[in-house]
């Protein structure tokens, strides 16, 4: 997990890193309050998508609503030397 790698990079022991990972997992498992869920409902379109199995699903209703979702966006740029 990224938490373990980030913690070990600071010189922490594996036991300390495991504790940090457990704490992060506990926080991630907590359900979002209703007002937070409702605030984000209008930010995501409810378009119909097709899964890799050929089923139609609605983006918000079927994939996001009531679930904890983590989105990671990364950009890297390398220059030639």
Helix boundaries (H) for 30-68: 34-41
- The residue among 43, 40, 46 whose CA lies nearest residue 63 is 46
Can you give the pLDDT at residue 3? 46
Question: How far is 60 from 44, CA to CA, in rounded Å?
Answer: 6
Can you give the pLDDT at residue 80? 78
Domain regions of the chain by residue span: 1-30, 31-81
pLDDT digits (tens, 9 = 90+) for 10-29: 555 655 555 555 555 555 55
Can you give the pLDDT at residue 6? 47
Average pLDDT for runs of 10 along the chain of length 81? 46 57 54 66 86 93 85 85 70
pTM: 0.41
């Amino acid at each position: 997990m990224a938490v373990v790698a980030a913690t070990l990079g600071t010189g922490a022991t594996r036991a300390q890193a495991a504790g940090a990972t457990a704490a992060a997992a506990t926080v991630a498992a907590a359900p979002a309050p209703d007002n937070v869920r409702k605030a984000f409902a209008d930010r995501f379109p409810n378009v119909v998508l097709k899964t890799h199995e050929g089923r139609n699903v609605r983006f918000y209703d079927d994939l996001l609503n009531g679930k904890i979702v983590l989105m990671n966006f990364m950009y890297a740029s390398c220059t030639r030397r």
